[in-house]
Structure 1
Amino acid sequence: MRIIGYIEHPGMKITVFKTDTRISVKFETGFYEQTYKFPIDVHLQNLDDVKKLVDQAFISAVRQEMERMHRISVQAAARRPPEKEHDFEEII
Structure 2
Amino acid sequence: MRVVAEIPHASFKITVFSWNGKYLIKLERGPYEQTYKISEMDVLGDEGLKQILDETFINEAVGLFQQMHQNLMAAQERAE
| TM-score normalised by length of structure 2 | 0.91
Question: Within 5 A, what are the aligned runs for 1:1-92?
Answer: 1-41=1-41, 44-81=43-80
Measured after TM superposition, the shift of residue 48 of structure 1 is 2.8
Unpaired runs of at least 5, structure 1: 82-92
Name the structure where strand makes up a greater proportion of residues: 2
Q: CA RMSD in A?
A: 1.3
CA distance in 2, matches of 1:4, 1:48: 13
Secondary structure, in 3 states, of the residue corresponding to 2:75? helix
Name the structure where helix makes up a greater proportion of residues: 2
Moved more, 44-53 or 24-33: 44-53
Q: Which runs of 4+ in 1 moved over 3 A?
A: none
Percent of aligned pairs sharing the same letter: 32
Unpaired runs of at least 5, structure 2: none
CA distance in 2, matches of 1:30, 1:63: 12
State the number of aligned residues.
80
